[in-house]
Amino acid sequence: MLLGRTPDGPIVGRSVVITGLGAVTCCGVGVDALWNELLHPTLSGERRVPDFDPSVWFGPKEARRLDRFAQMSVAAAELARLDAGALDEDPDRTGVIFATGVGGFETLAEQVLVCDRKGQNRVSPFLVPMMMANAGAANISMRFGWHGPSEAICTACAAGTHALTAAARLVASGRCDVAIGGGSEAAIQEVAIGAFTNMTALSTSGESRPFDVRRDGFVIAEGAAALVLEAKDRALARGARIYAEIAGGASTADAHHITAPDPEGAGAVACMELALEDAGIGPAEVGHINAHGTSTPLNDLAEARAIAKVFGEPGPPVTSTKGLTGHALGAAGAIEAVASALTIFHATIPPTAGLEELDPEIGLDVVAGGPRPFTPAPVISNSFGFGGHNGCLVLVPAG
């Protein structure tokens, strides 16, 4: 990753690798549940995390004082840290950058009703620490006793990708030796569903069909994912398992509309090109694209046009994991980064669940029907959010 540019040329940072993965998704708790379902998708309808049990991670009092999104943040981070093995980290040189779209929305909605029905004096004193968007990051750093940067990113559906890019730069710059990046969301609540429904963003069929001619909106999901990022030389020295390297990332803005993407994908094009430049690779070297692919008519077509402008048609094989996982808003980019790392590690591209008939306006090679063998190569993971926020992450095999 680049740290900046000077008149003498670019400043290249330390190599950053992924040594731990954690996921809490509608597929279940754990990375294996996510990967197995990605390869052989069966889910449809509502995308809640099944049987998530906070008591596995928290005592009764602590669980009551954390919103579901923060509970899942900590759970995903614990899983990723366990997966990474013995980090032997210096707490002062270890950080957390965690994302969310809306934070503790369930708690806020509940307490608004309490205030309305029972009065102001009955509002929970824990409302603010439960609803605040930084609660995920804060509780992770407190759980582990890490004193490095602990920050939250809230850029709608691009937040997870932005958090991972920022966490990787903490390591690339030398500020941290280890960082956890990721995102969490738990907003399947009637007010949120009503809002998304009334703005015609949700699927009326209840099915997520990225790039399909019948796509009619996204399926809202909840979940969390966390990645342990580590300086490559450090990871090698301790004999860590390495899933992939984060080689680059980028962020741009459409500056077009608060909810609709630029129809020609200009901001997305710029973001992908900048991410590739940051990684020091060209479009021809990319072997797979993990698309944002929300299953909304406007997003999928705009993203397809953007991909075609950067990579040509049909371009590298494309997948949208949201056909399976639905759209977990601020957690989506982190969940998809886990999938991208596993795609490289297992040399297999998951199919796009829900895709049966490719939109004839989309000339991409969208993987569907079953997994596809993959010779590990650079993977670009896209996230594009309300507000025109664009994020792209480049993962490469760790050579």
Q: Any idea what DSSP says for residue 327?
A: B
pLDDT for residue 44: 84
Q: CB burial class (10 A; 0-12, 13-18, 19+) of residue 51? A: exposed
Tens-digit pLDDT profile for the chain (399 aa)?
999 999 999 999 999 999 999 999 999 999 999 999 999 999 888 899 998 999 999 999 999 999 999 999 999 999 999 999 999 999 999 999 999 999 999 999 999 999 999 999 999 999 999 999 999 999 999 999 999 999 999 999 999 999 999 999 999 999 999 999 999 999 999 999 999 999 999 999 999 999 999 999 999 999 999 999 999 999 999 999 999 999 999 999 999 999 999 998 999 999 999 999 999 999 999 999 999 999 999 999 999 999 999 999 999 999 999 999 999 999 999 999 999 999 999 999 999 999 999 999 999 999 999 999 999 999 999 999 999 999 999 999 997
- Round the CA-based radius of gyration of the chain to a whole number and report it: 20
First CA to last CA distance, the chain: 15
Ramachandran angles phi, psi of 228, nearest 5°: -85, 120
pLDDT for residue 66: 98
Q: Could you give the residue numbers annotated as active site?
A: 157, 292, 327
> How far is it, in rounded angstroms, from Cα 124 to Cα 166?
33
Torsion of CA 259, 265, 268, 272, to 10 degrees: 160
Q: CB burial class (10 A; 0-12, 13-18, 19+) of residue 165? A: buried
- Domain ranges in the chain are 14-394
> How far is it, in rounded angstroms, from Cα 221 to Cα 322?
9
pLDDT for residue 51: 86
Q: Any idea what DSSP says for residue 197?
A: H
Question: CA nearest 320: which of 352, 289, 288?
Answer: 352
| Residue that is written with structure tokens 């984060």 in the block | 246
> How far is it, in rounded angstroms, from Cα 321 to Cα 147?
34
Burial 31-50 (b: 16+ CB within 10 A, else e): bebbbebbbebebbeebbbe
Ramachandran angles phi, psi of 192, nearest 5°: -65, -45
Pairing assessment for the beta strands 244-253 and 379-385 based on DSSP bridges? unpaired
> How far is it, in rounded angstroms, from Cα 41 to Cα 34?
10
pLDDT for residue 43: 87
> How far is it, in rounded angstroms, from Cα 371 to Cα 247?
25
CA angle in degrees (0–180, nearest 5) for 53-324-346:
90
> What separation in angstroms does the CA of 391 have from each of 63, 228, 271, 349, 363?
32, 19, 7, 21, 23
Q: Cis (ω within 30 of 0) for the bond into 314?
A: yes
**CATH node for 14-394:** 3.40.47.10
pLDDT for residue 45: 83
pLDDT for residue 146: 98
> What separation in angstroms does the CA of 157 have from each of 82, 114, 266, 382, 383?
27, 29, 18, 10, 6
> How far is it, in rounded angstroms, from Cα 344 to Cα 397?
6
> How far is it, in rounded angstroms, from Cα 393 to Cα 167?
12
What is 21-60 written as a DSSP string? EEEEETTEESHHHHHHHHHS----S-BPPTT--GGGTS-H
Give residue 339's identity as a one-letter amino acid code. Answer: A
Burial 362-389 (b: 16+ CB within 10 A, else e): bbbbbbbeebbebebbbbbbbbbbbbbb
